[in-house]
Structure 1
Amino acid sequence: MTSSGNPTLRQQRLGLELRKLRESAGLTSTAAAARVGVNQAHMSRIEAGRYPVSAERVRAFARAYTCSDQGLIEALAGMTGRRVRGWWQEYRDILPPNMLDLAETEHHSTAMRIASVIHIPGLLQTADYVRALADNSVPPLAPHEVEHRVSYRIKRQVVVYGQQAIPLTAIVHEAALRMGVGGPAAARAQLRHLIEASTRENISVLVIPFGAGTLPGSGQSIVYCSAIVPQLDTVQLDTYHGSEFLDAQAQLVKYQKVLDLMEACALDPVKSRDLIARIGKDI
C-alpha cells in the first residue's frame, strides 16, 4: 500500500479515531507502534489518514489498546482500504475537495437531520433552484462551473431518492420558503417538489413558521450525518469559505441539542405541507 498525499475526510477520520483509541489507552505513538509491529513514522502516517490500513490492522490496534467496544471496532474496520470510487470522484479537480467530502460522508450515513433557515436543504433542491444559487456565487462562477455544481447537487440526492435511501429529517424555516430563489416559476416548482418529497416514507419536512419566534443557535445551515455507531457521527456546517466538518463528542452533542430545539419549534409534517402549499399560492 502506498501513502495518500491527499487523504479524504473519511480517511482522516479513521486515522483520528485510531489516535483517540491510542490516547485513551495512555500510549505514546512510539509505544503503540512497537506493540503492533510498525515504525513510528508509519504510525504517524496512519493516524494522519495518509496510509491505507487493513481491517485486520485496525483490529490489531484495538487489541493493543484494549478497546472492548466491538461495534466501534467493526465500524472502523469498515472504513479501511483504498479510497472508494464513488460517483463524486468524477468531480475531483473540478469542485473543491470539501464538496466531495460531503458527498462521501452522506454516502456512508445511516440517517440525516438537516436544518436550514435561508435556503431549501440541498438534498431537496430542484436543478433550477441550484442553478439560481450558483449564478449568484461570490466570486461569480463561469457557466460550466455552474452546471458542474448543478449536476453534483442533483447526484448527491441519491442518498434520499435511490434504492438504498436513508431517513432524512429536514427542518426548514418559513423564510427559506419565501425567498423566491430563481423567480416565481422556479420558486413555485421548488415548493411543489418539497411537498412531493415530504410524502416519501423516508423524508420528513418540518417547517418552522415565522410565529415560532427566536431560534436556538445562530440559524446557520446544519447537516447532521449519523453513522453506524454514534462515535462516528459528523456535523457539516456551511460557511462563506466552504464546508466545516465537526466530529468532537462535545460538538456532536451540542448540535444534536440545537436540532432538537429547532425541531420543537417546527410544525408537524401535515401542517408543514399545508403551509408550504399556501406559500406556493402566494408567490
Structure 2
Amino acid sequence: MGLRANPSQRQRRLGEELRRMREASGRKREDVCRHVGLHKPHLSHIEAGRTACSEARLRALLGYYGCTDETVVDALVAMARSSGKGWWSAYRELTQDRLRDLAELESTATAHRTFQWMYVPGLLQTRDYVAELFGNNDPPVPAEDAARFTDFRVLRQQCLFTDPPPRFHAVVHEAAFHMHFVSRKVRREQLEYLVEAAQLPHITIQLLPFRAETPPSTPGAPFSILDGRVPQLRTVYVEHPLSSAFLGEPERIQAFSQAFNRLTMVALDPLDPAQLHSGSSYRMVQHLLYIL
C-alpha cells in the first residue's frame, strides 16, 4: 500500500498519540520495531499518519507502551478502523481539506466549546445567515459554489442533533451582532434562532458584551475545543483565513481550555428566556432585537 500524500486530521492525530505514548513509555524506537515486527521507516510513517496501522499491530503497540485503559484502547482502535468517509466526502472538489477534517471531527465529538467574536458560530448559523455571508463574499463566489458552500455548512450542524447529542457551549462576542455582513432581517432571525436553540438542554450560549470590565485574556483568533471519546483525544481548532490549525498537544489544549473558562466567567449568564436581569444574555438579545 502506498503512502498517503495528505493524511487527514484523524490519521495524523492517531499517529501523534502513538508517538506520544511511545515517548512517554521510554521505549526506544529499535525495541518497539523489534517487538511488533516493524522496520523503523514503517513506524515513522505510522506516527506521521502516512500509512495505516492494523488493529492487531495497534493493540500490540499500545500494550508494549503500557496502555491498559480499555476505553483509550477502544477509542484509538475506532480511529484506526474509520474510513473517514461521510457526507463531507461529496464536497471534496469544493472545500479545503481542513474543512472536511473539521466536519469529520465535529461528527464524532462528544462536546463542543467555541468562542467567536465576529460571526455567529457556524454550527448555530441559520441557512439565510450562511447564504448571505457567502453571497456577499469578497472576492465574489460563483452562485453555484456559494449554494454548495451553504449546504456544506448547514450539513455540519447535524452533528448537534445526534442521539445522544453532544454538549455544546458557545461564547459569542456582542460584536458579531453589530456587523452588517448580513441584512437586518437575517440578523433578527438569527437572534431568534439562538433563543430557540438555547432552550435545548444540551446547548448553552453566552454573550460577551462590549462593556465587560475584565479582559478574558483570550487567544486572538476564534477557536473551538472538541472532545473525543476520551480526554486524551480532545482537539483545539483555531480559525484563521490563511492557515487554520488543529492542535492536540496537552499543553495547548490546557491553555485554550483555561481561556474558554475565563470567557465563561466574563460573559453574561447563559441565554435563557426566564432570565431577564441585566447580566443575562437574554436581556442583551432583547436589546439587540429592539435596536435592529
2:154 maps to amino acid: I
Q: Distance between the aligned counterparts of 1:177 and 1:44, measured in 2?
A: 47
Specify the alignment match of 2:132 in structure 1.
132
Specify the alignment match of 1:276 in structure 2.
285
Task: Call closer, same or farther: CA 1:181–1:200 in 2, change over 3 Å.
Answer: farther
Q: Distance between the aligned counterparts of 2:219 and 2:132, measured in 1?
A: 25
User: 95-104 or 214-223: which moved more?
Assistant: 214-223
Does 2:275 match 1:266? Answer: no
Superposition RMSD on alpha carbons, in Å?
1.8
* Structure 1 gaps, min length 5: none
Specify the alignment match of 2:183 in structure 1.
183
Q: Distance between the aligned counterparts of 1:137 and 1:28, measured in 2?
A: 52
Specify the alignment match of 2:5 in structure 1.
5
Q: Distance between the aligned counterparts of 1:185 and 1:195, measured in 2?
A: 16
Indicate if the aligned counterparts of 2:226 and 2:236 stay in contact, CA closer than 8 A: yes
Specify the alignment match of 1:169 in structure 2.
169
- Listed one character per residue, the Cα deviations across residues 171-216 of structure 1 (whole Å, up to 9, x for unaligned) are 1111112224311111111111111111111111111122213332
Shift of 1:144: 2.1
Q: Distance between the aligned counterparts of 1:280 and 1:180, measured in 2?
A: 14
Specify the alignment match of 2:121 in structure 1.
121
* Structure 2 gaps, min length 5: 273-279
2:91 maps to amino acid: Y
Shift of 1:272: 1.2
Specify the alignment match of 1:39 in structure 2.
39
Q: TM-score, normalised by structure 1?
A: 0.93
Shift of 1:2: 5.5
Residue aligned with 2:67, SS: coil
Indicate if the aligned counterparts of 1:113 and 1:169 stay in contact, CA closer than 8 A: yes
Task: Call closer, same or farther: CA 1:280–1:184 in 2, change over 3 Å.
Answer: same
Indicate if the aligned counterparts of 1:52 and 1:82 stay in contact, CA closer than 8 A: no
Specify the alignment match of 2:251 in structure 1.
250
User: 86-95 or 96-105: which moved more?
Assistant: 86-95
Q: Distance between the aligned counterparts of 1:118 and 1:94, measured in 2?
A: 24
Q: TM-score, normalised by structure 2?
A: 0.90
Q: Distance between the aligned counterparts of 2:130 and 2:163, measured in 1?
A: 23
Specify the alignment match of 2:227 in structure 1.
226
Indicate if the aligned counterparts of 1:198 and 1:273 stay in contact, CA closer than 8 A: no
1:227 maps to amino acid: G
Q: Distance between the aligned counterparts of 1:66 and 1:194, measured in 2?
A: 46
Shift of 1:136: 4.1
Indicate if the aligned counterparts of 1:103 and 1:156 stay in contact, CA closer than 8 A: yes
Q: Distance between the aligned counterparts of 1:165 and 1:180, measured in 2?
A: 32
Specify the alignment match of 1:154 in structure 2.
154
Shift of 1:135: 3.3
Q: Distance between the aligned counterparts of 1:135 and 1:218, measured in 2?
A: 29
Shift of 1:145: 2.1
2:104 maps to amino acid: E
- Listed one character per residue, the Cα deviations across residues 8-64 of structure 1 (whole Å, up to 9, x for unaligned) are 100110011111111222234333111101222221221111222233322100122
Specify the alignment match of 2:238 in structure 1.
237
Indicate if the aligned counterparts of 2:219 and 2:259 stay in contact, CA closer than 8 A: no
2:19 maps to amino acid: R
Q: Distance between the aligned counterparts of 1:109 and 1:221, measured in 2?
A: 18
Indicate if the aligned counterparts of 1:112 and 1:223 stay in contact, CA closer than 8 A: yes
Specify the alignment match of 2:217 in structure 1.
216
- Number of residue equivalences: 283
Specify the alignment match of 1:142 in structure 2.
142
Residue aligned with 2:182, SS: coil
Residue aligned with 2:66, SS: coil
Indicate if the aligned counterparts of 2:218 and 2:260 stay in contact, CA closer than 8 A: no
Q: Distance between the aligned counterparts of 1:274 and 1:54, measured in 2?
A: 54
- The correspondence of residues 95-110 of structure 1 with structure 2, limited to 5 A, is 95-110=95-110
User: 75-84 or 225-234: which moved more?
Assistant: 75-84
Q: Distance between the aligned counterparts of 2:289 and 2:216, measured in 1?
A: 24
